[in-house]
């Protein structure tokens, strides 16, 4: 099987190499320019702690176990390239590049070379894919392991070899250690196996179940038990919301017409090979269901790991269009020839209407349609905001992912502060990453659930940096009065989440030193009380 894949890859190796190199360049371009935002800073300070202490223990004393694989990879990158934005984001760049290759393999093995190339082109130049391949977070590696798990699971169910079982176990563990969404794989696999059994009217016979199946079942059971004790199932069952309209709007906004091309692509795939269609559609629909109705916080990043499935479905649809046009033109051409019309066929008319094709009369019909569809696809991608062919320094990450310029703000503070200065911030992890300290947190309702989830149990200190929470103006005024010098850093998002009285006190009593960033501005305030004892 691997030899067959190698031979198929060699047939289009030039195109594949070009796409991989292009995708890597788009993802790594100016990787260190943009500041780490809140979530990136959380992963980074956990990685620093892991690198220095052997455990991802935050300054608050809490072990940051979420996405532990991502933390290990960032820590390894820090060891190689130093503690900086480039090193923090490099693991995501590498997984993003590997995803390009993986999508090609899936399209090739489950479809054909044309489907593989179409899907790979879409993944390579997708703004969404590029943006999240440049973040020091776990979403890109989750996407890679999620897709790899689907591919290896399907192949294992038919090849039943130790090699595929090993790859499957590796990929599922990678997905689970990347994000709790990885547990959705267990449900996808269960839905597939149950549907397959019912569809083929086969009863399970324990005597016919090989050791590989038993081992696979034990792995799934262990992961299921683990997920239960981590509270994942309970959390899902207890959360009941409806973000369907919001997410559909965001998907249409970010993907445009390409979202609608995936729908008929799913129909084509199911009609062509219902088993592959079942696993891909289940792997797409089930996560969307949980995200739409059982995940409290809205964020387009939660949808990210299933996006390549949409691109693969688009590949199936465009492949069908090419095949259909080829058959239609062939039939029309034969009919014209039989009736002895003065024109040979519609394809000749098409060639004569396009100067470029008119000079190459010997091009096969399929090649002509491939060129036409490729041209239209690239044209649509060029005019769509969902894709880019030129590198950028800044990519929007959607709702609930404010990218503020903390880097320049804290570099200013670092250059002008004294060792005894106190630091007050609206977002504590960036302060910890760039300054190595953070004394107070301007507590506010971060994600709509109050400030309590961001405080240690039975404490007024934040869970990330051990900073003391400031809940009201009186406390902030007291901090200012009791400390000779200090700095207060707040971005535009945090500013509007603070109460009016808090904003009024800051504006009237503290000195504004700088405004950093054009999109999400970060303000640096400070005070000097020369007479403080």
For the chain, domains (ranges, CATH) are 406-528 (3.40.50)
pLDDT number for residue 462:
94
pTM, full prediction = 0.89
Residues with pLDDT less than 50, the chain: 204-209, 211, 336-338, 340-344, 357, 360, 533
Under DSSP, is residue 516 helix (H, G, I), strand (E, B) or coil?
strand
Please give the full DSSP string across 130-190, using - where no structure is assigned.
Answer: HHHTTSSSSHHHHHHHHHHHHHHHHHHHHH--HHHHHHHHHHHHHHHHH-GGGGHHHHHHH
Round the CA-based radius of gyration of the chain to a whole number and report it. 27
pLDDT number for residue 108:
93
Q: Which stretch of DSSP H or E encloses residue 252?
A: helix 244-255
Asked if 71 contacts 136 with a C-beta cutoff of 8 angstroms, the reply is no
Under DSSP, is residue 60 helix (H, G, I), strand (E, B) or coil?
coil
Q: Which residues, at least 6 apart from 316, have a Cβ–Cβ distance to it below 8 Å?
A: 111, 115, 265, 266, 268, 269, 272
* Cα–Cα nearest to 425, from 513, 532, 523: 523
**Number of residues assigned to the chain:** 533
pLDDT number for residue 361:
52
pLDDT number for residue 206:
43
As a whole number of angstroms, the distance between CA 24 and CA 90 comes to 11
As a whole number of angstroms, the distance between CA 305 and CA 181 comes to 9
Helix 139-159 to helix 184-200 angle (10° resolution) is: 30
Helix 113-125 to helix 13-28 angle (10° resolution) is: 10
């Amino acid at each position: 099987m691997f030899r067959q894949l190698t031979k198929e890859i060699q047939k289009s190796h030039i195109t594949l190499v070009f796409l991989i190199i292009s995708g890597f360049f788009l993802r790594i371009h100016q990787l260190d320019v943009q500041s780490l935002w809140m979530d990136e800073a959380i992963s980074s300070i956990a990685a620093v702690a892991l690198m220095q202490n052997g455990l991802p223990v935050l300054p608050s004393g809490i072990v940051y176990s979420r996405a532990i694989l991502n933390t290990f990879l960032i820590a390894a990158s820090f060891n190689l390239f130093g503690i900086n934005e480039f090193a923090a984001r490099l693991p995501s760049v590498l997984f993003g590049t590997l995803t390009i290759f993986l999508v090609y393999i899936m399209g090739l093995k489950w479809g054909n070379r044309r489907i593989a190339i179409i899907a790979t082109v879409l993944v390579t130049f997708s703004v969404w894919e590029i943006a999240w391949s440049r973040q020091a977070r776990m979403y890109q590696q989750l996407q890679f392991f999620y897709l790899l798990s689907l591919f290896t699971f399907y192949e294992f169910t038919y090849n039943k070899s130790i090699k595929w079982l090993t790859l499957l176990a590796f990929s599922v563990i990678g997905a689970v250690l990347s994000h709790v969404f990885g547990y959705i794989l267990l449900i996808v696999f269960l839905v597939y196996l149950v549907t397959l059994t019912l569809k083929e009217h086969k009863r399970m016979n324990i005597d016919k179940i090989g050791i590989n199946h038993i081992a696979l079942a034990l792995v799934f059971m262990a992961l299921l038990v683990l997920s239960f004790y981590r509270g994942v199932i309970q959390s899902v069952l207890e959360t009941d919301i409806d973000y369907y309209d919001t997410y559909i709007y965001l998907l249409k906004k970010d993907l445009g017409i390409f979202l609608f091309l995936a729908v008929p692509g799913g129909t084509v795939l199911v009609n062509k090979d219902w088993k592959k269609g079942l696993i891909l559609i289940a792997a797409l629909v089930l996560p969307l269901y949980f995200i739409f109705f059982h995940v409290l916080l809205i964020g387009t990043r939660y949808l990210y790991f299933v996006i390549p499935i949409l691109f693969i479905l688009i590949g199936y649809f465009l492949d069908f269009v090419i095949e259909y046009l080829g058959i239609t033109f062939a039939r029309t051409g034969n009919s014209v020839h039989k009736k002895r019309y003065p024109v040979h066929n519609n394809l000749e008319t098409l060639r004569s209407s396009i100067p470029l094709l008119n000079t190459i009369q010997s091009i096969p019909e399929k090649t002509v349609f491939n060129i036409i569809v490729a041209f239209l696809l690239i044209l649509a991608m060029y005019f769509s905001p969902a894709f880019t062919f030129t590198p950028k320094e800044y990519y929007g990450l959607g709702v609930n992912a404010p990218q503020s310029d903390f880097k320049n703000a804290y570099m200013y503070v670092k250059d002008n502060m004294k060792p005894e200065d106190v630091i007050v911030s609206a977002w504590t992890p960036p302060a910890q990453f760039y300054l190595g300290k953070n004394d107070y947190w301007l507590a506010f309702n971060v994600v709509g659930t109050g400030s309590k989830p961001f405080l240690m149990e039975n404490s007024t200190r934040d869970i990330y940096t051990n900073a003391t929470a400031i809940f009201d103006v009186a406390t902030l005024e007291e901090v200012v009065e009791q400390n000779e010098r200090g700095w207060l850093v707040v971005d535009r998002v945090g500013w509007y989440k603070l109460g009016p009285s808090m904003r009024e006190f800051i504006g009237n009593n503290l000195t504004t030193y700088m405004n950093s960033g054009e999109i999400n501005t970060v303000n640096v305030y400070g005070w000097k009380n020369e007479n403080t004892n």
